[in-house]
Amino acid sequence: MVAAVTGLRPTRKCPECGRPSARASFPFCSPRCKAVDLNRWLSGSYVIPGPADEGGAPGDDERS
């Protein structure tokens, strides 16, 4: 008798190319897609917006 083995998590699509993800490079489908995503983070393509600056640099108070 052969028992059915279930995965630990459901298969999702690769965020880069849309192919099914692989366990070795989850959530990506391959090391290449994983490297492409890392390169985008390191080059600044992905930006997390922060609060808008309302003046000069910190410490530029106009005190008299």
CA 55 to CA 29: how far, in whole Å?
A: 45
Q: How many CA atoms lie within 13 A of 64 on its CB side?
A: 0
Q: Where are the alpha helices (DSSP H) in 1-64?
A: 31-43
Check the annotation: does 29 bind a ligand. yes
Check the annotation: does 52 bind a ligand. no
Check the annotation: does 14 bind a ligand. yes
Check the annotation: does 30 bind a ligand. no
Question: Binding site: residue ranges?
Answer: 14, 17, 29, 33
Question: Binding site for Zn(2+): residue ranges?
Answer: 14, 17, 29, 33
